[in-house]
Amino acid sequence: MKRLNSLTVVAAFLSTLTLVGCSDNDLPNVAMPDPVEPMPVVNYRYQVTVINLTHSQPMSPIATLLHNEMNVWEIGMPASVALEQLAESGNNAELLTQEFVIAGESGEGILMPGASETIEVSTMNSPPQMLSTVTMLVNTNDAFSGFNAMDISNMTVGESISLRTGSYDAGTEKNSESSASIPGPASGGTGEGYNEARDDVNFVAMHPGVVTADDGLASSVLTQAHRFDNPTLAITVTRIE
């Protein structure tokens, strides 16, 4: 212990000496123009790992986006057309190219129950403030899961945030659960996706869950297997650069 202490003292002393030596070797301080250095390129890169926690609800290609303003959705407010498209059909193209999106990335394809996928999204130079991730539960009328506008402005490199997300209802399509209205495999993929008509409450809320034919909705194409409870996704966001 004593030896360690004295070593530390020596090290500190040496470093002082070195510093002093350096300043001794410096030229007299003459006013010289600083060389113009190019701004270093700073990357802000994030990894988003998503696990589908449901029994039988495939997730549409995961949309992940960086932004500095706006919400992808708000409880009690009407869904944007871009969110309506994702929530009714699984198509994330419109959502990822909205004006406020700094960088948007899509998952490779459908994320099956029990499966996981890691998506990277990045931007250069100025730190992004928010990250959102959203996906459709495809054996539903207009259910989606994910998180909205997570504050990532203080995330350091290597830092991770893990969370589990519940499911929301876009409120743009009535939950008839009919074969004609479910785009996922439950209808054989024949059901309608996006339809601009809004025949439901027209605000976003938490999803009430699917009823299914097995539990008393005769017109439903869904079975007990398609039921889900919250949470539906496990998500880990890591800043890697």
Partner 1 sequence: MKRLTLLAGVIASSFAMSAQAQELEITVTNLTQGIYYTPILIAAHNTDVDMFTVGEAASNELQAMAEGGDISGLSALAAAGNADIVENPAAGLLAPASSTTTTLNTMDGNSHLSLVSMMLPTNDGFIGVDSWMIPSESGTYTFTLSAYDAGTEANDEIINGGGAPGVAGIPIAPGNDAGTGGSGVTSMEENTMIHVHRGSLGDDDLSGGKSDLDNTVHRWLNPVARVTVVVK
Summarize as ranges the residues that interact with partner 1 (CB under 8 A).
75-76, 166-167, 169, 171, 174-177, 201, 203-209, 211, 215-219, 229-230
Q: Is 151 left (phi over 0), alpha (psi -120 to 50) or beta?
A: beta
Type of residue at 6: S
Least CB distance from residue 208 to partner 1, whole Å?
4
Rounded Cα distance between 42 and 65, Å, is: 18
Least CB distance from residue 8 to partner 1, whole Å?
23
Least CB distance from residue 220 to partner 1, whole Å?
9
Question: How far are the Cα atoms of 31, 142, 160 from residue 83, in angstroms, in the given order?
Answer: 58, 10, 27
Nearer to partner 1 by Cβ, of 12 and 75: the residue is 75
Nearer to partner 1 by Cβ, of 113 and 166: the residue is 166
Nearer to partner 1 by Cβ, of 119 and 152: the residue is 152
Which is it for the CA torsion 177, 182, 185, 188, positive or negative? positive
Nearer to partner 1 by Cβ, of 63 and 210: the residue is 210
Query: In the structure encoding, which two tokens stand for residue 74, read together?
Result: 């708000």
CB atoms within 10 A of CB 225: 14
Nearer to partner 1 by Cβ, of 117 and 227: the residue is 227
Least CB distance from residue 202 to partner 1, whole Å?
10
Question: How far are the Cα atoms of 6, 83, 143 from residue 89, in angstroms, in the given order?
Answer: 69, 10, 10
Least CB distance from residue 139 to partner 1, whole Å?
15
